[in-house]
Amino acid sequence: MADYRKQGDVAVLHANNPPVNALSYHVRQGLYDGIEAAEKDPSVKCIVICGKGKTFPVGADIREFASGSAKKFPNLIEVCDKIEACTKPVVAAIHGFALGGGLEISLGCHYRIGGTSCKVGFPEVNIGVLPGAGGTQRLPRVIGLKPSLDIITSGCHVGAKEALKLGILDKIVQGDVVTEGIKFAKSVQNQPLHGRRVSTMAVPDVSQANALCNSAMAEVKRKSSGLLAPVACVKSLRVAAQTPYKDGIKIESALMLQLMTSGQAKALQYAFFAERLASKWQVPGGASHATVTPRPVKSCAVVGGGYMGSGIVMCILNAGLPCILVEANQKFLDRGIKMIQGLYAGSVKLGKMSEQDAKKTLSLLKPTLRYEDLKDVDVVIEAVFEDMKLKQEVFGKLDKVCKKDALLCSNTSTLNIDKIASATRRPDRVMGMHFFAPAYYMKLLENIRGAETSPQTVATVTQLSVKIGKVPVLVGNCHGFVGNRMMAPYTTEAQRLLEEGAYPHQVDQVIEEFGIPIGPLKVGDLTGLDVSWKITREVSRMLGLDHTKREDVEPFGLYFPVRNALYEKGRLGRKTGAGFYKYEKAGSKVAIPDPLVMDIIDHHCREEGIDRRRIPPQEIYERCLYSLINEGFKTLEEGIAARPEDVDIIWLLGYGWPRYTGGPMHFASQIGLRRLYGRIEYYHNKYPDRDHWTPSRLLKTLSQQEHPVPLAQWGQFASTTSRL
Residues belonging to the active site: 104, 124
DSSP string, 336-380: HHHHHHHHHHHHHHTTSS-HHHHHHHHTTEEEES-GGGGTT-SEE
Q: Residues 30, 100, 294, 367: which binds ligand TC6 (CB under 6 A)?
A: 100
Element (H, E) at 7: strand 2-7
Q: What is the rounded CA–CA span in Å between residue 495 and residue 562?
A: 7
d(CA 476, CA 434): 12
260 vs 292, beta carbon nearer ligand TC6: 260
Position among 49, 79, 118, 127 found at the interface with ligand TC6 (CB under 6 A): 127
The site map against ligand TC6 for 78-97 (x = CB under 6 A) is -------------------x
Residues in the interface with ligand TC6 (CB under 6 A) total 22
Interface characters, 212-251, with ligand TC6 (x: CB under 6 A): ----------------------------------------
Output the CA angle 504-687-413, nearest 5 degrees. Answer: 60
Tally Cβ neighbours within 10 Å of residue 421: 26
Q: Which of residues 270-289 bind ligand TC6 (CB under 6 A)?
A: 273, 276
Nearest to 223 by CA among 171, 308, 156: 156
How far apart are CB 201 and ligand TC6 at their closest, in Å?
A: 21
Of 249 and 394, the one with the shorter C-beta distance to ligand TC6 is: 249
In the complex, least distance from residue 255 CB atom to ligand TC6, rounded to whole angstroms: 11
Cα 719 to Cα 191, 203, 642, 713, 723: the distances in Å are 67, 59, 10, 12, 9
128 in contact with ligand TC6 (CB under 6 A): no
Is residue 468 involved in binding ligand TC6 (CB under 6 A)?
no
In the complex with ligand TC6, which residue's Cβ is closer, 61 or 84? 61
Interface with ligand TC6 by CB under 6 A: which range of 61-69, 182-190, 414-422, 620-628? 61-69
Q: Is 123 in the site for ligand TC6 (CB under 6 A)?
A: yes
Determine if 19 is a binding residue for ligand TC6 (CB under 6 A): yes
| 120 binding ligand TC6? (CB under 6 A) | no
Q: Which is nearer to ligand TC6, 465 or 564 (CB)?
A: 465
101 binds ligand TC6 (CB under 6 A): yes
- Sign of the CA dihedral running 235, 241, 243, 247: positive
With CB under 6 A as the contact rule, the residue among 62, 182, 486, 521 that binds ligand TC6 is 62
First to last CA, the chain: 47
Among 1, 10, 46, 76, binds ligand TC6 (CB under 6 A): 76
Pick from 3, 5, 36, 63 the residue near ligand TC6 by CB under 6 A. 63
504 binds ligand TC6 (CB under 6 A): no
Note whether 562 binds ligand TC6 by CB under 6 A. Answer: no
Instruction: Check binding of 134 to ligand TC6 (CB under 6 A).
Output: no
- DSSP string across 415-470: S-HHHHHTTSS-GGGEEEEEE-SSTTT--EEEEEE-TT--HHHHHHHHHHHHHTT-
The answer to whether 99 contacts ligand TC6 (rule: CB under 6 A) is yes
Asked if 21 and 15 count as a contact pair (C-beta separation under 8 A), the reply is yes
In this structure, are residues 135 and 121 in contact, taking their beta carbons and an 8 Å threshold?
no
511 binds ligand TC6 (CB under 6 A): no
Nearest to ligand TC6 of 59, 432 (CB atom): 59
Give the residues across from 5 on adjacent strands. Answer: 12
Tell me which residue of 134, 150, 143, 137 sits closest to 205, measured CA to CA: 143
Which letter does DSSP use for residue 616 in this model? Answer: P
Single-letter code of the amino acid located at 146: K
Q: Does 107 bind ligand TC6 (CB under 6 A)?
A: no
> From the CA atom positions of the chain, what is the Rg in Å?
29
Amino acid identity at 262: S
Phi-psi region of 581 (alpha: psi -120 to 50; beta: other; left: phi over 0): beta
Contacts of residue 710, defined as CB under 8 A and 6 or more positions apart, other chains included, come to none
**464 is a contact residue toward ligand TC6 (CB under 6 A):** no
Measured from the CB of residue 269, what is the shortest distance to ligand TC6 in angstroms?
A: 9
Task: Please count the residues of the chain.
Answer: 724
Residue placing its CB nearer to ligand TC6 in the complex, 124 or 508:
124
Q: Which residue from 61, 378, 386, 622 is in contact with ligand TC6, where contact means CB under 6 A?
A: 61
Q: Which is nearer to ligand TC6, 315 or 430 (CB)?
A: 315
Is residue 22 at the binding interface for ligand TC6, with CB under 6 A as the rule? yes
| Binding residues vs ligand TC6 (CB under 6 A) | 19-20, 22, 58-63, 76, 97, 99-101, 123-124, 127, 131-133, 273, 276
